[in-house]
Structure 1
């Protein structure tokens, strides 16, 4: 299935990995999440993460102990960290 750019609806979207910078839920600092699944559109120049990836990152950061996180963590490493809670009780969208 071909993906359309969320910004310009081009069919030339590429799946890449990229670093993103995320503020921790407690607001104390930001971290770099490397190798994050990302979309790149050469037609409009946008580089972005899909809504499911954004939600996955936000939920994981709410559900783990963020204190031991270094300044940089890979997406896979972040998602592999054991959760303290089974679900995000602050997410009312589900």
Structure 2
């Protein structure tokens, strides 16, 4: 009975774990270092945007331009890298 209560309480974690195991078994290279680093890189970027938007929501403001600013920053960085080189664009 206690096992059913725990399974009910943590069902999302259990489903996530089963999905991770199934993906690791079915997709070659799923748990490689490059795949994990790309996932962490994307999670960090989205996390930074979420922190900024959370501050706005706490203060009672609503801003839907976070995705647009994120896309524009990506476009500008690619153009700068092409025009002036990667090192000056990083600065």
TM (norm. structure 1) is 0.24
TM (norm. structure 2) is 0.24
State the structure with more CA Rg.
2
**Higher normalized helix content (fraction of residues):** 2
Identify which of structures 1 and 2 has the higher relative contact order when contacts are C-alpha pairs closer than 8 Å and 6+ apart: 1
